[in-house]
Amino acid sequence: MKNTLFLILIAFLLFLAIFFYWKQSQAESELTMANDKITSLEQQVRRFTRNLPPDTVGPMQSTQPELKDSTAEEEEERIIPPASTQFEDELGSLSEADIARLKRQGLKNPEADLMNDLMRKQKTVLNATGSVGGTMAIRDVRILNDHYALAYFEDGHNGGHMVLRYTVKNGAITWTRLDSYTM
């Protein structure tokens, strides 16, 4: 009886060792694939930023070394994004000047204060009602500048976007819905 229990214990421990070794090798292979994908994407970014005119290149160009492997395919495949695409990274973030103006109007942490206030007052600005038992709620907010915000709302079944204007006086925030649509 003792020998049988001992053999079962050893078999179980052997199984665990093999299982964990298999999981480790699987995780290592996934990590290797992810690193290869990241390297590929970094090369694409370097290739794209290398082809941009000097006045549109961001700080990434000056800090990243250029790749010297240029094949015929890479030379033919030059995709130059328009300058307007750089604005996309800035969307939803206040500039230093906006933050300073909002602080002068009484907000301590402007972006957080605005988002928290909108979440508290969302029922007053939402014009859509939930369907199939859902409750419409704001899920994402982008503070665009010191006057406007963009919000995404949904109830789990339907959703939409709305453009809001806000005013701040002595730390008090007032929200006005300018436009909204449901999808």
In this structure, which amino acid lies at residue 97? A
Domain membership of residue 160 as a residue range: 94-182
Answer yes or no: do 127 and 72 share one domain.
Answer: no
Give the up-direction half-sphere exposure of residue 168: CA atoms within 13 A in the CB hemisphere: 23
Q: Of residues 51 and 141, which shows the higher confidence score? A: 141
Q: What is the DSSP letter of 54?
A: G
Same domain, 176 and 118: yes
Of 68, 87, 106, the residue that ends a domain is 87
Q: 135-145: per-residue pLDDT in tens?
A: 888 888 888 88
Q: Contact, 66 vs 43, CB < 8 A?
A: no
**Residues 176, 100: one domain?**
yes
pLDDT, tens digit (0-9, with 9 covering 90-100), for 14-47 = 999 999 999 998 999 888 888 888 888 888 887 7
User: Does 83 lie in the same domain as 68?
Assistant: yes
Residues 6+ away with beta carbon under 8 Å from 171:
105, 106, 107
Per the structure, the count of domains in the chain is 2
